[in-house]
Amino acid sequence: MAEVTSKKVEESNGESLFVLDAAVIGAGVAGLYQLYQLREQGLNVRAFDTAGGVGGTWYWNRYPGAKFDSASYIYQYLFSEELYKGWSWTEKFPGQPEIERWMNYVADTLDLRGDIQFDTTIESAHYDEDRGRWTLTTVAGQVIDTQFLVGCCGMLSAPMSDLFEGQSSFKGQIFHTARWPRETVELKGKRVGVIGNGATGIQVIQTIAPEVGELKVFIRTPQYVNAMNNPQYGPAEVEEYKSKFEYFQERLPNTFAGFEFNFDNGAWADQTPEQRQAVLERIWNNGSLELWIASFSEMFFDEDVNEQVSEFVRNKMRERLKDKELCDLLIPTDYGFGTHRVPLESGYLEAYHLPHVSIVSVKDNPVKRITPEGIQLTDGTTHQFDVIILATGFDAGSGALTRIDIRGRDGRSLKEQWQQDITTTMGLQICGYPNLFTTGAPLAPSAALCNMTTCLQQQTEWITECIQHLRTNDLQVIEATREAEDAWVKHHDETADATLVTKTNSWYMGSNIEGKPRRLLSYIGGVGAYRQKCTEVADQGYPGFEMH
Ligand SMILES: Cc1cc2nc3c(=O)[nH]c(=O)nc-3n(C[C@H](O)[C@H](O)[C@H](O)COP(=O)(O)OP(=O)(O)OC[C@H]3O[C@@H](n4cnc5c(N)ncnc54)[C@H](O)[C@@H]3O)c2cc1C
């Protein structure tokens, strides 16, 4: 086995230089577990995060109403029974403060803090082919030398926060939801504008609507919504879910989306309309993402089935909205249910019944700029605000990595490459970038098409095992071959193109960013199937990967 570099900090021109076996970018769900595993393997490893604390998504997204859409008892690490059972959730879908506390519990229980450098942004990562090592530079000018680089940078961590001309001229307060300040923001009685009504916008809107003085929601694309059923948990419920630990360990990695439910309702074609309706009603009443990722799989492939399920959801929305005008503004008709990220909500639709809440449709009259007073639309209309909330989402999948100046072999730039075509090998490596591993990256299952703890555990475990394989066999470098990457991209595209998801414009397809190459960012062949493919590659000694 290759010798482990002893932990050292060298002095270079008076600056401390970390010489590492592995550097992990990010201290969210993926980064924490990656750090833990590589350290357990005996590597000299350190994690770096721009954030001032652990949690990633759950550190940054502290906007009003931020919460899980995964059930708390499955959004968990399942490698340790002690870790799982040492934490008790208070409800099925808890809010950000509780989730952030849980992430801190994980970091403390696994004693990770000492190996994480917070408030540190990795600005560049350059590969030196002669040395087979990466040189990282932080924004503060610190230099890190490492053999392996693991980008656990997050699928939804590069906020689209600087979208509109004139933002800095606004005289009030303006916040992107993923950069919400730690201190309390007073919204009571204020005139508030929210741009965006995706999963995040919906959580914000339903939460702040009762307290603000006036709320205008700028809507480009109406969303199908699914009412959340959020029971509180006392000792009996906690004991009940904890007793299923082993079941979850077995079950979650093998379902379509890493949740506890799967497409177990039989084939659509085999059922009468009444039977289908009964299934949909039962699942609807569960109030989770089950309707989307575990009702009828035909919904993803068959336009007719999709339309019938879409109509079921539209009817549920119609029943709750008070008039036709609101139905026209809030109920989608030009794309199918489930081809966008489906948000869960609690009272979101009813928020629009409040007299001080209104909708500004920006489908045909987009936001032009932010002025000192508020938001100006293309037709010149201006809406005045005290606070503007940008629920404008993320440069999903690729954004966190392309915001770093990553240079692989021969100085090739990942940013330039992905401006042309976003490709990876199973989302775990990229041809041309030896010893760089990624999690939550494009072309691996992610973001709501996967319960992310399930996927990120599997991906980090694969990376850990791969590095172990190299060290056991005295190998220093691994890189995905062009053939393997092309084959994965082909398989990914064939799988994706068979679904209706690729026929819709959404951030899943990169459509929220002008000029972003169009490709489904998440693998949609199923979490269980993906895991099997990854395991096969490892078991067969990493065919499709060049090692020396
Ligand atoms: C509001 C919201 C709600 C969500 N709800 C769910 C849910 O219910 N279920 C679910 O499965 N998923 C959900 N997700 C997806 C969520 O992102 C994942 O569940 C998971 O938290 C991702 O973990 P991660 O470690 O991959 O990345 P992240 O948690 O995004 O962490 C990445 C970290 O990398 C750091 N980083 C990035 N670039 C750099 C750099 N250059 N230098 C230093 N640090 C850097 C970031 O600061 C960040 O802290 C949600 C996402 C959002 C935004």
Closest by CA to 195, choosing from 362, 350, 396, is: 362
Q: Which tens digit of pLDDT belongs to each residue from 60-92? A: 999 999 999 999 999 999 999 999 999 999 999
d(CA 244, CA 452): 19
Q: What is the end-to-end Cα distance of the chain in Å, rounded?
A: 14
Q: Do you know the residue count of the chain?
A: 548
- Cβ of 452 less than 6 Å from ligand 1: yes
CB 243 within 8 A of CB 330: no
Q: Is the pLDDT of residue 8 over 70?
A: no
Q: What are phi and psi of 49, to 5 degrees?
A: -145, 140
d(CA 224, CA 311): 10
> HSE of 526 in the Cβ direction (CA atoms, 13 Å)?
15
Residue spans of alpha helices (H) in 141-265: 199-208, 235-242, 245-251
Q: Cα torsion for 532, 534, 536, 540, to the nearest 10°?
A: -170
d(CA 442, CA 189): 42
Q: Which tens digit of pLDDT belongs to each residue from 187-199? A: 999 999 999 999 9
Q: How far is the CA of 26 from the centre of ligand 1 (A)?
A: 9
DSSP class of residue 352 equals T
For residue 131, the tally of other CB atoms under 10 A from its CB is 11
- Cβ of 451 less than 6 Å from ligand 1: yes
- Cβ of 61 less than 6 Å from ligand 1: yes
- Cβ of 32 less than 6 Å from ligand 1: no
Q: What average pLDDT does the structure give for the chain?
A: 95
Residue 424's alpha-carbon distances to 156, 159, 204, 273, 543, in angstroms, are: 17, 22, 34, 42, 15
Sequence-distant (≥ 6) Cβ neighbours of residue 396 within 8 angstroms:
155, 156, 158, 447, 507, 508, 510, 512, 521
Element (H, E) at 383: strand 382-384
Q: How far is the CA of 506 from the centre of ligand 1 (A)?
A: 19
Q: Which of 67, 106, 153, 438 to mutate to test the pocket of ligand 1 (most atoms within 8 A of CB)?
A: 153
- Rounded to an integer, the average pLDDT of 454-480 is 98
Q: Which tens digit of pLDDT belongs to each residue from 279-290? A: 999 999 999 999
Q: Which tens digit of pLDDT belongs to each residue from 373-408? A: 999 999 999 999 999 999 999 999 999 999 999 999
Q: Cα torsion for 463, 465, 469, 475, to the nearest 10°?
A: 30
CB 151 within 8 A of CB 439: yes
Q: How far is the CA of 57 from the centre of ligand 1 (A)?
A: 4
Shortest-distance atom of ligand 1 to CA 63 = 1
pTM: 0.96
- Cβ of 151 less than 6 Å from ligand 1: no
